[in-house]
Structures are given as structure tokens and as C-alpha cells.
Amino acid sequence: MQRVLIVEDEVDIADLVMFNLQRAGYEVLKAHDGIRGTEMAIAERPDLIVLDLMLPGRDGYSVFREVRRDARSSHIPIIMLTARAQTEDRIQGLEAGADDYLSKPFSPKELVLRVNAILKRSEAPPGAVEFEYGPFRFDKNAVRFYLEKEPVDLTSTEFKLLLYLCERAEKTQDRNDLLRTVWGYSDEVHSRTLDTHMKRLRQKLGSHGAWVETVRGIGYRAAPPEA
Ligand code: CA
């Protein structure tokens, strides 16, 4: 059973989310402040974290940074929640590298759909479990990524994006197709988060970042870097 950690101080919302996730077949862990949330994320290593931004003890951005910094939890996908619907906050959350984002008030059903989308895309498809392209190797079963045989910590979103591009190497992938494949829908905010994820992904690929090419106005393409 996949486990979801909810970090939310508003007990009513946490309970409502828990109820809906449990009904969808998830095991749910709860933390009501940022300090406990950080501890649980690192100690329990859930499959996904639903993280509110406005928290006592330690705010959601700080929890987010710590969870991402710690090697034990850096791969865990995170959906951010906020009470504030301003675009600036949404963009800040996505640029911090959240896998997805919901503004309050949100429908618990919508949250469950997004949790499903993120966790489903982490599952290995039947058939081949290993895929190699250039210096990259993907272990689809374990959702592990290797760069010239060295493991590199990618989030599940980064893994999915890079694998999608590499499995269709040397063909440009349209932005909207990438958004729909990875996030399940495309809109302006997610269009921006696509670029943020690509930027972070390239940083993690270091000198091999050039294997992912930006095709201006269209999308992205995996291809051998030009000499
Ligand atoms: Ca809150």
C-alpha cells in the first residue's frame, strides 16, 4: 500500500484529505506542524507528501527545502497546498520544485486525482525495466537513474520527464504533450513549472545536461550534444 504524508495544521482539512486518500486506497500519515512534518518525511519516507505552506513551527517552504536537501527524502514527490491563490505564490512553489500545486479551497477529489497521477507515473510499465540512452540508464522498476553508472537522485517528475524524452530520442516533444504526460493537464502555471523542472534536471545532469535540448517555441528533445 502506498503511503501519503499530510503536513497540515488545520485539523479539519487534514482529516478530510486523509479520509479521501484512505478511501482511494492509500495509507495516510499526518503531521500538524512543520517540524514534525520534516521529521516524519525523513524518518518514514512516504511515497508522496501533501504539504501545506502556512504551518506553525516551520513554514512549508522551509520543510520543502529540508526534505529536498536530505538524501533520504529528496526523491519524494511533493504536492503543495496554500490558502493564498495569488499567482506569485503558486509560481514560487513551483519554482521551488514542487511536483504539483493546489490552491485552497480545493476539492479533495481533485487532490486524490493529482496524487494518483503522480504515483501512477512512478510505476514501472510491464516489460522492459531498464532503459539506456547515451550516458543515461533508467531502472524503471526502482525508479532509479544512473549517469555513467553513478546513481543520481532525481525526483519522480524529473525521472519521468527525462525517460519520456529519451524513449523518444531525437524527436522534439511538444510542450503540451509533455505537460499532459507528466502532470495530466496543461495550463499556464504548469507550463512554467515544466521549464523549472527542466532547468533543475539539467543541473543534476551536470556536463551531460546538453543531452536535453530546448527547441524554442516548441518543446524539448533528447539528442547527443553537438560537438
Ligand atoms: Ca495551514
pLDDT (tens place) for every residue of the chain, 227 residues total: 899 999 999 999 999 999 999 999 999 999 999 999 999 999 999 999 999 988 999 999 899 999 988 989 988 999 998 776 666 666 666 667 788 888 888 899 999 999 998 887 555 556 668 999 999 999 988 888 999 989 998 888 899 899 999 999 999 999 999 988 888 777 777 788 888 899 989 999 999 999 999 999 899 999 999 86
Q: How far is the CA of 60 from the centre of ligand 1 (A)?
A: 9
Q: Which CATH number fits domain 3-122: 3.10.520.10, 3.40.50.2300, 3.40.50.11890, 3.50.50.60?
A: 3.40.50.2300
Q: How far is the CA of 53 from the centre of ligand 1 (A)?
A: 6
Q: How far is the CA of 215 from the centre of ligand 1 (A)?
A: 40
Q: How far is the CA of 203 from the centre of ligand 1 (A)?
A: 32
Q: Which residues contact 207 (CB under 8 A, 6 or more apart)?
A: none
Task: Please state, in angstroms and rounded to a whole number, the distance separating the CA atoms of residues 222 and 227.
Answer: 15
> Tell me, what's the pLDDT at 47?
94
CB crowding 146-165: b at 16 or more within 10 Å, else e? ebeeeebebbbbbbbbbbbb
Q: How far is the CA of 16 from the centre of ligand 1 (A)?
A: 14
Q: How far is the CA of 10 from the centre of ligand 1 (A)?
A: 6
> Tell me, what's the pLDDT at 125?
56
Q: How far is the CA of 154 from the centre of ligand 1 (A)?
A: 28
> Tell me, what's the pLDDT at 183?
81
Task: Please state, in angstroms and rounded to a whole number, the distance separating the CA atoms of residues 19 and 199.
Answer: 36
Enter the CATH code of domain 130-222.
1.10.10.10
Q: How far is the CA of 176 from the centre of ligand 1 (A)?
A: 32
Q: How far is the CA of 11 from the centre of ligand 1 (A)?
A: 9
Q: How far is the CA of 104 from the centre of ligand 1 (A)?
A: 10
Q: How far is the CA of 59 from the centre of ligand 1 (A)?
A: 9
Map out the domains of the chain as residue ranges. Answer: 3-122, 130-222
Q: How far is the CA of 107 from the centre of ligand 1 (A)?
A: 16
Q: How far is CA 95 from CA 4, 48, 64, 197, in A?
A: 22, 18, 12, 8
> Tell me, what's the pLDDT at 85?
60
